[in-house]
Amino acid sequence: MLRMPGRKQLIIGVLLVALILFFIMVNSTTVTVYFLWSELSIPLWVVVIVPFLIGMLAGGLFVWREQRKESRNQQLHGAPALSALAGVAKKRQTKWWW
C-alpha cells in the first residue's frame, strides 16, 4: 500500500522542485567542456548537476557496501559488527601507517 505524503513533505517537495527549476533557468548558458581529446558544448547546469549526481551515486554505493559488509559480519559471527570508526581505532593500535 502506498503511503501518501503529508502536507509538510508535499510543501518541501514542491519547494525543492521550484529551486531546482530556478537553478536550471539561471544556469542555462552554454559552456564548452574539454575532456581529453573531445570538446562538448552543454548547458552549465548539466556541468554542475552531473558530477553532483555521480558523487551521490558513488557515496551511496560506498555506504551500501559498508552496510552489506557489516550485515555479513554479523551473520557470520552472530555479534554486532564493529563500526567504521572502531575499525580505524583497531588499525591504529596495530601500528600500521594506514
Q: Does 87 fall in a domain?
A: yes
In a domain, 98, yes or no: no
Write out the residue range of the structural domain in which residue 83 sits: 7-93
- pTM to 2 decimal places: 0.55
User: Could you report the per-residue pLDDT of 33-71, keeping only the tens digit for each?
Assistant: 888 888 989 888 888 888 888 998 998 888 888 888 888
Question: Is residue 19 one of the residues assigned to a domain?
Answer: yes
In whole angstroms, what is the distance from residue 55 CA to residue 90 CA?
A: 29
User: Does 64 fall in a domain?
Assistant: yes
Q: Return left, alpha or beta for 34; rule: phi > 0 is left, psi -120 to 50 is alpha, else beta.
A: beta
Q: pLDDT class for 7, splitting at 50, 70, 90?
A: confident
Q: How many beta carbons lie within 10 A of that of residue 2, not counting itself?
A: 4
Q: Is 37 part of a structural domain of the chain? A: yes
Per-residue pLDDT reduced to its tens digit, 19-38: 988 988 888 888 898 888 88
Q: What is the Cα–Cα distance from 31 to 92, expressed in whole angstroms? A: 47
Give per-residue pLDDT as tens, 68-83. 888 887 777 765 555 5
**Would residue 2 count as lying in a domain?**
no
In a domain, 18, yes or no: yes
Domain count, the chain: 1
